[in-house]
Structure 1
Amino acid sequence: MNSIMPQLMGEFFGTFILVLLGNGIVAGVCLDKTKSNNSGWIAIALAWGLAVTVGVYVSGFMSPAHLNPAVTLAMFAIGAIEGSLVVPYIVAQFLGAMVAAIFLVIHYYPHYKETKDQGLILATFSTGPAIRDTWTNLFGEALGTAVLVIGIMSLGHHDLAPGLVPILVGAIVVAIGFSLGGTTGYAINPARDLGPRMMHAILPIPNKGDSDWSYAWIPVVGPLVGGVIGALIYNAIIVAFA
């Protein structure tokens, strides 16, 4: 077997689990007649953190468990991974997110049929702003992703018990969701947003509207830029003060 294949499987499967559980809670909250309907933002923020934790656990023995093109690009920017891995990792992450969206449509299909609000249906696939303001939305996605990358990088400088890192990465995501996520829905991950958004456009989902392509670039560009900036800033601090 090609030595890169376990890594690609890790990125695929971890991102699949992340999106399945993360968008799964959004579907449970937003779609009509689920038992978790209207559970609210606290449920979403907590569940997304747990989704990231589980995704990292199930993939971390196969790959670095980036599960996020912004993290992959950030790690490349500071020389932590080889350039030849960047595109394959990102492709695997996108495929994992897209397959997860298909599974969720099947799982929640009766509830999509019961839901008439097109905006809520789209929310189960991708993010959208609470107030549509291009530059603050872009800044929010970049800021949240910078905090994510800085938090992840900081874990490597502590003497942590084996197996604790995924829980702490999930905790970082919960903190971002509570503190910064209320403006845009905190995609902080291009694959998590654009992959399912493409599935929303393609799949025969009852009652769906358009996929809001005019906004779609923000949760892609913002995280990619913010992740690289966060990595470069934190790396410079380590070099200066370590």
Structure 2
Amino acid sequence: MSSSDIFISETIGTAVLILLGGGVCAAVTFKRSKAFNAGWVAIAFGWGFAVLTGAYIAAKSGAHLNPAVTIGVAIKGGIEWNQVPVYIAGEMLGAMIGAVLVWVTYMGQFQAHLSDPEVLADHTGEEGLVDQSAAPKAGPVLGIFSTGPEIRNAAQNLLTEIIATSVLVLSILTLGLSDNGKGVGVIGTLLVALVVTGIGLSLGGPTGYAINPVRDLGPRIVHALLPLRNKGGSDWGYAWIPVVGPLIGGALAGGIYQVAFA
């Protein structure tokens, strides 16, 4: 498989993943959405279906959609290490495109939400505009784009992401993600989507379960760049955890696979 095939497949698949995953977060967040307040179960299943759809679309490249998966597969020996940057570049670009598409889809809702005095009061402590010079760590729409912890403890948050990502990647490797980018097959892809849903329901509560560096970093960059009045901060102080944690988790899963199953 050529590098261009890998790059295009991963870009499109990851864009769809983030469009649908970020889309369910937006749908649950915005008052002017028919899914407003649908809750965590809707988010967990929405992200599971997002993985399912993106993975079917990107089947040609093995549908990694996630640098943690790419690292785990490379450690297993499923791809050459010189292909890893191509996978990750496609995944990163796709994540940013998907985040932009969420904004485009919900443009009216973003505008209404960020001009709602009640929403702004929740993030400033009083009615009025968000002070961009002293913006809160997490702005009022950041959760649509990226993750954040319920209890801010770097060690705990990092460990949570490592554990959750290890479960994801080890499940993919043991399902038989094959060499040469052939992927897990139709049934395997469905099972991976169910695993992602299960991780969201079981392990997603503490941090919002990034379990994918580009799922968090790409949309966080888009949040920082979008011309959204009163959007607040992008919480860059936390941003390293959903990148480093999943990368460690993916590598750990690859190592466990080599020791226990290879």
Does 2:242 align with 1:219?
Answer: yes
Amino acid at match of 1:149: V
Instruction: Map 1:174-193 onto structure 2 (within 5 A).
Output: 174-193=197-216
Distance 1:171 1:219 in 2: 21
Task: State the match for 1:26 in structure 2.
Answer: 25
SS in 2 for 1:38: coil
State the Cα distance separating 1:221 from its structure 2 match.
0.1
8 Å Cα contact 1:188-1:219 kept in structure 2: yes
Residue 12 of structure 1 is matched in structure 2 by: 11
- Percentage of identical aligned residues: 47
> What is the CA–CA distance in structure 1 between the aligned matches of 2:185 and 2:212, rounded to whole Å?
26
Give 1:65's aligned residue: 63
The partner residue of 1:83 within 81, 104, 107 is 81
1:195 paired residue number: 218
Please give the root-mean-square deviation of Cα atoms over the aligned residues, in Å: 1.5
Instruction: Report the Cα offset of residue 77 of structure 1.
Output: 2.1
AA at the equivalent of 2:149: P
**2:187 equivalent in structure 1:** 164
- In structure 2, runs of 5+ residues without a counterpart are 124-138, 178-183
For residue 11 of structure 2, give the secondary structure of its aligned residue in structure 1. Answer: helix
Counterpart amino acid of residue 113 in structure 1: Q
Give the alignment partner of residue 175 of structure 2, picking from 143, 147, 155. 155
The answer to whether the Cα contact below 8 Å between 2:76 and 2:257 also exists between their aligned partners in 1 is no
Superposed CA deviations along residues 116-171 of structure 1, whole A, max 9, x for unmatched, are 446440000000001111100000001000000111111119xxx95211111100
Contact 2:25 2:144 in 1 (8 A): yes
When structure 1 is superposed on structure 2, of 136-145 and 107-116 the one drifting more is 107-116
Could you report, residue by residue, the CA deviation over 1:61-88 in whole angstroms, capped at 9, with x for unpaired residues? x201100011111222232211111111
Q: Distance in 2 between matches of 1:207 and 1:43?
A: 27
Is residue 112 of structure 1 aligned with residue 110 of structure 2?
Answer: yes
The answer to whether structure 1 residue 123 and structure 2 residue 143 are counterparts is yes
1:7 CA displacement = 1.4
After superposing on structure 2, the runs of 4+ consecutive aligned residues of structure 1 that deviate more than 6 Å are none
- Report if the CA contact (8 A) 1:112-1:206 is conserved: no
Task: Report the number of matched residues.
Answer: 234
Q: Which amino acid aligns with 1:101?
A: A
Q: Is the 8 A contact 1:138 1:222 kept in 2?
A: yes
* 1:140 maps to 2:138: no
In structure 1, give the amino acid aligned to 2:155.
W
- Please tell me whether the aligned partners of residues 48 and 193 of structure 2 are also in contact (alpha carbons under 8 angstroms): yes
SS of 2:261's equivalent?
Answer: helix
Residues 126, 193 of structure 1: 8 Å contact kept: yes
